[in-house]
Amino acid sequence: MLYHLLYSLHTDISAFNIFRYITFRTICAMVTAFLICFITGPYLIRTLQRIKIGQYIRKEGPQSHYDKAGTPTMGGVMIMGSILVTTLCWTNLTNRYVWITVLAMVGFTMAGFIDDYKKLTRKKNEGLSARAKMFLLIVFAGLVGWLTYTTPGFTGKITFPFVKNFAPDLGVFYILFAAFVIVGTSNAVNLTDGLDGLAIGPIIVSAITYMLFAYVAGHFKIAQYLQITYVPGSGELAIVCGAMAGAGVGFLWFNAYPAEVFMGDTGSLPLGGLLGTIAVITKQEILLVIVGGLFVIEALSVILQVGYFKITHGQRIFRMAPIHHHFELKGWPEPKVIVRFWIISIILALAAVSTLKIR
C-alpha cells in the first residue's frame, strides 16, 4: 500500500522514483518488520501473561526445561503479523506471487494457531493430532503449489545445484513436489523450535539467503549470467524475505536466551511454510536442503530415532530427539547449543550461495 501510494508521487517529485527499486523497498521492509515486532513485543508479552497463555512442557523433554513452563507462547502472532503488514505495505500488490505468499502465511498461521489453541485448552503439550495437522498443511501447501504452477510463465522444471543442463520437467506433478517441499519445510522448522532462539536464528539466515535468490531469479540479466531459471516477478519476494528477516530479528530480541516469549506452532509452522513457498517460486527448491540444512538435520534425527526405536524394540541412536536435546543431555549448556547451531546454519547458507556460480 505504501509502495503504491509513494511511488505514484514520482511524476511530481522525482525523489519518489526510488520506491520502484526492489533493493530499497527490501531495506524498508526489514526495518519496518523489525520495528513492528520491537514496539509491539512488550505489549503482546504482557497480554499473553495476563490471559495466561503459557507454554506446557512435554514430560519426555529434558528436566532442565521444566522451569520454562508458563513462559508466554504463541509469539508467532507477532512475527507473522509484522511480516504480513510489511508485505502489504512495501510490495507491488499486483504481483501474483506476493498474494501466493500471503496465502501461505495466513493458511499455515491458522494451522499453527489451532494447534497451539488445542494445547492450551487441553492444558498439556498435545495439540492437533498428527493426521489432522498434516491434513491442514497438505491442503494449504497443495493450494499454494497449484496457484504457483498455474501462474503464466512458471515452469514445472526442477533445477539442481552444481548442474547446468539437467532440469527435468515434472509437468502437473510439480504441484505434488511443491506441496512436499512446503510441508516438509514447515514440519522441519517446527521440530527445530525447541530451545530459546534456536529456530528463529536459522530462519533469519535462510530469509536473507533467499532474499538474494529471489532478487537474482527475478532479474533477467543476472539470472541469465548465473545460468539459473528466470522467474518473471519473483524479485518482489526479496521484499517478503526482507520482512521475514526483520521480523525474525525483532522477535529474537525477546526470544533470546532466556526467552521472554516462545513463537509456538503459530510461528514455526508458517515460517517454515513461507520459506518453502519462496524456495518453490524462486526455483531453488533443491538448494533449500543446503540453506535449511539445520532444519533437515533436526527432522532426520527424529525420523531416524523413531525408526530405529521401532526396529530394535526400544533402542535409541540419540539420547533424545530432535538432536538439539541430544547435545543438551551430553552436558552442553543451552546457549552453546543454540550458537553452535546458528554457526552451522550460516556456513550452510554460504555454501548454498556459492552454488550460484558453480554450474
Q: Between these two residues, 151 and 162, which has the higher pLDDT value?
A: 151
Region 74-88 average pLDDT: 96
Domain extent listing, the chain: 21-354
310 CA to centre of own chain:
31
pLDDT at residue number 289: 96
Confidence of residue 327 (pLDDT cuts 50, 70, 90): very high
pLDDT at residue number 60: 60
pLDDT at residue number 288: 96
Polymer length of the chain: 359
Say if residues 116 and 124 touch (Cβ distance below 8 Å).
no
Q: 269 pLDDT exceeds 80?
A: yes
Residue 125: DSSP 8-state: S
Q: How large a percentage of the chain has pLDDT more than 70?
A: 96
Q: What is the CA radius of gyration of the chain?
A: 20
Q: Between these two residues, 21 and 56, which has the higher pLDDT value?
A: 21
Q: Between these two residues, 201 and 13, which has the higher pLDDT value?
A: 201
pLDDT at residue number 57: 64
Q: Between these two residues, 326 and 128, which has the higher pLDDT value?
A: 326
Confidence of residue 129 (pLDDT cuts 50, 70, 90): confident
pLDDT tens per residue across span 171-213: 999 999 999 999 999 999 999 998 999 999 999 999 999 999 9
Task: Report the range out of 60-69, 118-127, 269-278, 350-359 with the highest average pLDDT.
Answer: 269-278
pLDDT at residue number 112: 94
Confidence of residue 121 (pLDDT cuts 50, 70, 90): confident
Q: What is the residue-wise DSSP string for 319-335?
A: SSSSHHHHHHHTT--HH
pLDDT tens per residue across span 24-75: 999 999 999 999 999 999 999 999 988 888 776 666 666 666 667 778 889 9
Which amino acid is it at 133? Answer: K
Span between the terminal Cα atoms of the chain, in Å: 39
User: Which residues, at least 6 apart from 201, have a Cβ–Cβ distance to it below 8 Å?
Assistant: 252, 338, 341, 342, 345
- Mean pLDDT of the chain, nearest integer: 92
Say if residues 230 and 213 touch (Cβ distance below 8 Å).
no
Q: How large a percentage of the chain has pLDDT more than 90?
A: 74
At 169 the three-state DSSP class reads: strand
pLDDT at residue number 59: 60
Of the candidate ranges 61-70, 245-254, 283-292, the one whose mean pLDDT is the lowest: 61-70
